[in-house]
Structure 1
């Protein structure tokens, strides 16, 4: 029940501007209450702080004024737009964009109220890593990366990050220290203040939850606890944290019947992703300054993960192409139905790609795969706005598949036999083993065989 603002009243922003009509109560938390409001007929959200919280966080107004002046790092942040005060109402609040109803919270994911596809999960992870990279590039840290601050569209993976009144200058002491179970070990031990380095640990925990539906430090040690009190949590997450899949320490392995999500999901993912998680929760625990996985590394890995997805031809479950595992020996079996997998065509695209992780990129060519500037132009890494190629089926022979040029520049294709074919915009080239496609800045090779 709301208690700070009266529905139907009109407020005024701090700077001269339009009237703000308070329409409905959305919810409350430890800091204040959130309302749906109308500004010139446009729906927005208004967060109003409890008076007692303002006393606990004396630098809040300073942070919000700086945020309003600087603007958001991207449209993924529900960023403070204006400060708001009201006659007769103590304290203040701020306007921000209203989160659309299509977005769901991370709690909905871990409780299985929504079950997005693996492609969507990879997209959520990519968007989060990309967004926090943009924030950190401004010399800011979020301070409280956790379930409660992230929302996503379960159909597309598009994300929104809220509660941006937490954001502060990197390393600045303040009232916000983080959320238990997401805080870096040095924060749990009281040895540090929130920073980009602690954000990186929290981001890794969030991504592990996103993909494994489990906490990376909760294994045998957590199952042995008789009382999950503050001393127990401090030991588990602060003084003696051990990654559940630490290759050098098996003391905290997940237990069947207790930690089934971790046991089920961990083997599904490609080795390159598991290697990143292993580094995040081994080196990243021992060496916070140099051992943590950067946002740029997660961003590249999650795009690579998305490009590796292909469906099982028997049950339709999403699986991952993992060249390191296959080593030419076959496609393996489906994690869901246990039947043998049949790999669809792939394209291996080479060229200098430092922003995207470097080296060759392999994209599985499913019936609905699209290639973007990110894949074929080193100068446009992580540009997924407009597709430049699409997998298409032959109009007369459904057994034949090709890659259609959706861009504005012609390609040049060379078959394995050496025949050269121009591929102008709007035309397609058949997917055949060994065919090379020169996109301009990069060249890709079609593979149909295993390996």
Structure 2
């Protein structure tokens, strides 16, 4: 904080932004090309930090491009310009928000910024990051001759329609104009598309109880990260989609980039979590201990290749305790720290407080 004896009140001094943190506008303009893993990690950190703010009784009031930065290599985030933060429910104390990010009720002037309106802005920001497009800008936008204040109030306030609303196709993305929305939407697994759909349909109709909470976004971003698989041909990231597998009798589909048939790696189910066991997968206490949810400080396990047989892969114990492993044929053995268990179908691993089963 900065104070001056001759000036009433106080100000603050904010450190310069480290160069590794980039503006989300850099993503929109393709000046950076983060991986899906980095984007999902950034989405997790954003949701987590806004949750921490909200649980303290504050609202941010202006979640948008200009206030959130992220490291495209790691997904670390930096939230700046916190002078707009205010106690929740205290009325108009500063900015109302940034156009295109404000909740419809704020656009219309029927509500002031709050934690509930922050939830809408957060959903827009995450949608922007993952699809490089706006959830309400489709056919309806193209029919506007002049995007003046009345037009914006209609598009984002009085008549907002999600571009993928299953009950209203009047605002679908237009090829040649909204190509990012068309390209990215099909890449993501159904669970994420369902969450976005709820955020911009029920979340618009029911501002009080219909919005996706920060805690749910947090879980969805980790689930998205755990769903990443790699194309065996081009090496780019794709996603495991359980709903698609059920609908296609186990066919994971084609790579979104090179159109080569995808091959699923082994995966492990731990409780209600499914984690794809790629060559670079790591499990964290978050996955193996319900008392340490969202603890990603140090890995508890990592996929590793056999030192003498390159065709054999295992899961290495990086924790401080031993695992108890039961193979498909009923053999039980201990796996001490720094030792590995082969990725065999139906092998069960007792991590201590949770049990996982490997599936292939």
Interval containing the TM-score (normalised by the shorter chain): over 0.9
Q: Secondary structure at the residue paired with 1:362?
A: strand
Of 226, 235, 241, the match for 2:145: 226
Alignment TM-score, normalising by the size of structure 1: 0.78
The answer to whether 1:140 aligns with 2:58 is yes
Q: Structure 2: how far apart are the matches of 1:287 and 1:412?
A: 48
Does structure 2 conserve the Cα–Cα contact (< 8 Å) formed by 1:373 and 1:380? yes
1:324, distance to aligned residue in structure 2 (A): 1.2
The answer to whether 1:281 aligns with 2:200 is yes
Alignment TM-score, normalising by the size of structure 2: 0.97
Of 28, 49, 55, the match for 1:110: 28
Of 257, 265, 272, the match for 1:336: 257
1:175, distance to aligned residue in structure 2 (A): 2.2
The answer to whether 1:398 aligns with 2:310 is yes
After superposition, the Cα gap between the structure-2 partners of 1:194 and 1:397, relative to the gap in structure 1 and judged at 3 Å, is: same
Of 239, 242, 260, the match for 1:320: 239
1:336-355 deviations in whole A, cap 9, x for unaligned?
110100111100111xxxxx
Number of residue pairs aligned between Structure 1 and Structure 2: 357
The answer to whether 1:185 aligns with 2:109 is no
The answer to whether 1:197 aligns with 2:116 is yes
1:1-53 deviations in whole A, cap 9, x for unaligned?
xxxxxxxxxxxxxxxxxxxxxxxxxxxxxxxxxxxxxxxxxxxxxxxxxxxxx
Q: Structure 1: how far apart are the matches of 2:333 and 2:28?
A: 50
Does structure 2 conserve the Cα–Cα contact (< 8 Å) formed by 1:313 and 1:341? yes
The answer to whether 1:300 aligns with 2:216 is no
> Which structure would you say has the larger RCO, counting Cα contacts within 8 Å and 6 or more residues apart?
2
1:152-185 deviations in whole A, cap 9, x for unaligned?
1111000000010110011222221000000000
Q: Structure 1: how far apart are the matches of 2:332 and 2:22?
A: 49
Q: Structure 1: how far apart are the matches of 2:170 and 2:13?
A: 48
Q: Secondary structure at the residue paired with 2:344?
A: coil
Q: Structure 2: how far apart are the matches of 1:435 and 1:280?
A: 38
Larger Rg: 1
Does structure 2 conserve the Cα–Cα contact (< 8 Å) formed by 1:437 and 1:444? yes
Does structure 1 conserve the Cα–Cα contact (< 8 Å) formed by 2:3 and 2:9? no
Of 261, 270, 289, the match for 1:377: 289
Of 270, 274, 279, the match for 1:367: 279
Q: Secondary structure at the residue paired with 1:319?
A: strand
Matches within 5 A, 1:116-155: 116-155=34-73
1:96, distance to aligned residue in structure 2 (A): 2.9
Does structure 2 conserve the Cα–Cα contact (< 8 Å) formed by 1:172 and 1:194? no
Quote the residue 2:342 is aligned against. Answer: 430
1:92, distance to aligned residue in structure 2 (A): 5.9
Q: Structure 1: how far apart are the matches of 2:228 and 2:312?
A: 21
Q: Secondary structure at the residue paired with 2:13?
A: strand
Does structure 2 conserve the Cα–Cα contact (< 8 Å) formed by 1:84 and 1:95? no
Q: Secondary structure at the residue paired with 2:175?
A: coil
Q: Structure 1: how far apart are the matches of 2:251 and 2:186?
A: 17
1:428, distance to aligned residue in structure 2 (A): 0.3
